[in-house]
Amino acid sequence: MLKKCFAAFFTQAVMLALAPQPVIAQAGVGVPMRTPDGQPDVSGIFTFRTLTPLERPTQFEGRENLTAEEAAAFEASERTRQNRDLFDPEAGAPNAGYQPRAEGGVLSYNEFWYERGIELTSDKRTSLIVDPPNGRRPPRTEAARRTAQEDRAYTEEHRYDSYENRTMTDRCLGTSLAGPPMRSGAYNNNVMIFQTAEHVVIQNEMANQARVIPLEDTPKPPFGLLKGVSRGHWEGETLVIETTQFRSDSGMTGPNMHLIERLTRLDPDTIAYEYTVTDPTVYTAPYTVMMPLRRTDGPIFEYACHEGNYGLYGILAGARELERQGRELRR
């Protein structure tokens, strides 16, 4: 394990050393940052943890922003509600509704391991979704709702049949939080971005996955990928990344998802990260999210998943043992 961690750390150190170092113009406030080859500089190590929810909570319906006093109260209540260390043996965890297997006093981690954020975005928005104006994802199509119901029913019946019936997260093949697009979660909300003249690389700490994005119109493969196929270009100071060709089992909306991401350096410490998801087979309209990337001290570390994936082995081995004993599996 020590050798693996050292190798991962050494690899990241080499990548950082080879990446062009930022050139910050000194002519005055607001002067764009540039790489040595003259491109807008979006490189660095950033965090996107935040208490701002993806979708607007019902209690804030019609409210785009909170006052400073409302935001402070909401932040305090969320930090309390999400604290895994406040477990009550009778009532369970404060957020037991978000811990499907929390009954009986079993929680995933204690609070030390979480880094979900402690505050809302600086503008105190009530949702990361900025379009539609209600701050929520559009309704799903009838076909998508029917497919989701069928998938849930199949999963409930067959979740212990095979590794192929487990999620990509169970199988250590990725997580939808790492994206694309990136989404804030309970931990590992860190990302390293570095540039060359021909590529931009986005490496998420979650799932330890790197997207190598050409900055030119290179030929695309004839098949889909788990993270889709991405191509980038510059529009003024903004890096625009278009991604299509998602695999049907990628954990995203589906193989017809069309994603546009925009990264704009606002200042040495902040990048505006905006993305629009379009998938007419799943949603009745596109939706757009805005989420700040804030500079943080590095490095990011290896995400080793199950350390040989014993978790997945245990799930399936346990199911086979219960079957051998003639006992019913808990669905």
Spell out the domain ranges in the chain. 2-65+127-325, 67-119
Question: Which 8-state DSSP code applies to residue 126?
Answer: S
The first and second tokens of residue 159, run together, are 């979740």
Closest by CA to 125, choosing from 213, 63, 167, is 63
Residue 194 is inside which H or E element, if any?
strand 190-195
Q: Compute the distance between CA of residue 101 and CA of residue 159 in angstroms, rounded to an integer.
A: 15
- Report the C-alpha gap between 269 and 262 in whole angstroms: 17
pLDDT digits (tens, 9 = 90+) for 124-178: 999 999 999 999 999 999 999 999 999 889 988 999 999 888 888 788 777 677 7
As a whole number of angstroms, the distance between CA 77 and CA 181 comes to 28
Gap between the Cα atoms of 260 and 219, Å rounded: 19
| 8 A C-beta contact, residue 220 and residue 230 | no
Question: What's the pLDDT score for residue 185?
Answer: 87
> Cα(240)–Cα(238) distance, rounded to whole angstroms?
6
**DSSP 8-state code for residue 201:** E
The predicted pLDDT at position 309 comes to 67
> Quick one: what percent of the chain has pLDDT higher than 90?
56
User: Which pLDDT does position 11 carry in this prediction?
Assistant: 44
Answer with the residue of higher pLDDT: 326 or 263: 263
Tokens 């017809």 correspond to 256
Q: Residue 125 and residue 329: Cα distance in Å, rounded?
A: 44
Q: Out of 8-22, 181-195, 213-227, 268-282, which region has the weakest mean confidence (pLDDT)? A: 8-22
pLDDT of res. 106: 55
The per-residue pLDDT of the chain, averaged, comes to: 83
